[in-house]
Chains A and B, each alone.
Chain A
Amino acid sequence: MRKRGVIAILLSALLLPPAAQAQSDPQVTDSKVGNFTLDLAVPESPAFTVLNLTPSTVSRPSSVQQLATSLLNGVDQNGNFQTGVALDFQPYMLMYGRLVTWNKYAAHYATRFASRTMVSVGTTKGASEADKSMRVALGVRLTVFDLGDPFRDQKTADCLAAAHSTALANVGLPVPPPKASQTTIDAYQAAKMKQLAPLETVCRVDQEERARKENWNNSSFIVAVAPTWTSPDGSSSNLSLAGAGYWTSLSYGFEGLPGMEDTSQFILHYRHRRNELIPTRTEGGPSFEQDSDTFGMRLRVGSANGTGSFEYAFNQRRVMGQPDDTSHRFAFAAERRISGNTWLTVSVGSEDGRADGAGGGFVLSSLAWSLNDRP
């Protein structure tokens, strides 16, 4: 029953329909303004975070995307090669987005809170002989506040609204009547778009670039929870509940500090993980359960298109019948927007002090993009 539930969740997440179906067929006119984007880095998937498979231990609390997916390839903290995929989405926006107007979003905290809530479904598979396990996670991420929320940046919206109003005024009356020919209607719509195009381009170029530069590192605060399921032999029929993870991240964007407010971000992160099933590094060896706590901090320096970061994390692991094991993890990470909203993240570091001899150097990479951005 439990396995069927997990599969059903994965399928429903992948097949979830958009909230509203087209009832009319408004003319969609492509324009050069579509070439400009306001997108910030795709957030780290909660599903990958709880599975300890994000390139950075310290998860950053960035703005969520309506629908995003992540791919992962790399060596995990136990030295085993992992591949995985995660799908992140905003259930409230998918179900009730039709009712979320700009003003309601700006005026009501509850609307923002519900809209930003992100659900994530992720699965990873060990690709080595020592670890053939399959792991599935279902994550929920709550954004308590986000000063970098692009939908609270009024300047871009104001610029677009002013451009619209100017274009409508320039075209003027009369508006085509209901029985006007399609040619007449098309010409009228084209005239509106022609009036708008240069004004909108200015808004997109100037305001979106300003917003990107100003908002990428703003302060925010998230909490998240994610139950996980593990199959030690990698078969879906043997998936069973393997505890859960809870974590929180608080970022500070140095707002009001010239020189740092658009270039730096400091993040504090705490994570608790219960009943995590850990495969041994020896082929055929038994898996074991552990609880762990991680406290980390991360300094990101850069711009909206790429950052370098340094992080430190203190980790304490508890395995029944064994003394507590503490370790320290240092990492340098680089995030770079490759094109559009596709981001490549690479981290290099080491973990020292583990009693089991695991840890040492590691390299992790992640490729992430948003599905609902440019095609």
Chain B
Amino acid sequence: MAVHQRKVNPANGPVTVTLSVGFKHVFSYQCVLMKEDGSSQQVVLRGTTIDKLPDEVILPMQAPQLGGMFLAVDGLLSPVKAGKNDTFSIDITVSQNGSVIGKKPIVVSAQTKVTVPILEHVEL
């Protein structure tokens, strides 16, 4: 688990979050918006990377309100073929006005042969 920073610009437009999981892994997740102390939790996106639905959401708050909020990416990731020590990679891209904040996605990557629980926080 880690806390990352992708500071939104209060003067800019809506904030979009995109998830992408490489190496053909199965990842099911919920994206939860919350205050720093964990209060006011709001699930903004639920899904799995193997369906045909986009793993992307426009956060339901204006940019000035998002300042100081945290987005938790909470989920479970499994290799399809258990027992294989495969690399996995989760990319979390936070964008505003079509530009990627921080210039590049947050990348969570490691090797695993079993299911792993994922919990990453992004300070907005």
Give residues 310-348 of A contacting B (CB, 8 Å): 340-341
Q: Which of A154, A200, A374 contacts B115 (CB 8 A)?
A: A200
**Residues from chain B with Cβ under 8 Å of A168 in the complex:** 28-30, 46, 74-76
B100 at interface by CB-CB < 8 Å: no
For A190, the closest partner residue in chain B by CB is B117
Known: A23-B108, A93-B23, A173-B41. A375 touches B50 (CB 8 A): no
B45 at interface by CB-CB < 8 Å: no
Q: Is the interface of B mostly helix, strand, loop or mixed?
A: strand
B56 at interface by CB-CB < 8 Å: no
**Residues from chain A with Cβ under 8 Å of B118 in the complex:** 26
Q: Is the CB of A22 within 8 A of B110?
A: yes
**Residues from chain A with Cβ under 8 Å of B77 in the complex:** 26
A204 to B87, CA, bound (A): 19
A7 at interface by CB-CB < 8 Å: no
Q: Is the CB of B50 within 8 A of A103?
A: yes
For A156, the closest partner residue in chain B by CB is B80
Q: How many A-B residue pairs have CB under 8 A?
A: 202
**Residues from chain A with Cβ under 8 Å of B24 in the complex:** 100-102, 105, 151
Q: Which of A157, A158, A372 contacts B85 (CB 8 A)?
A: A372
Q: Which of A39, A151, A164, A370 contacts B75 (CB 8 A)?
A: A164
**Residues from chain A with Cβ under 8 Å of B37 in the complex:** 177, 179
Count of residues in B whose CB is under 8 Å from the partner chain: 61
For A195, the closest partner residue in chain B by CB is B76
Q: Is the CB of B115 within 8 A of A161?
A: no
A198 at interface by CB-CB < 8 Å: no
B1 at interface by CB-CB < 8 Å: yes
A356 at interface by CB-CB < 8 Å: no
* Residue ranges of A at the interface with B (Cβ–Cβ < 8 Å): 18-31, 33-39, 66, 93, 97-103, 105, 150-151, 153-154, 156-158, 160-161, 164-165, 167-168, 173-180, 185, 188-189, 192-193, 196, 200, 204, 208, 340-341, 370, 372-375
Instruction: Give 4 nearest A-B pairs by CB, closest first.
Output: A177-B38, A164-B28, A98-B22, A189-B117
Given pairs A26-B117, A175-B72, 7 additional interface contacts (CB within 8 A): A37-B83, A168-B30, A175-B119, A177-B36, A179-B36, A196-B76, A374-B84
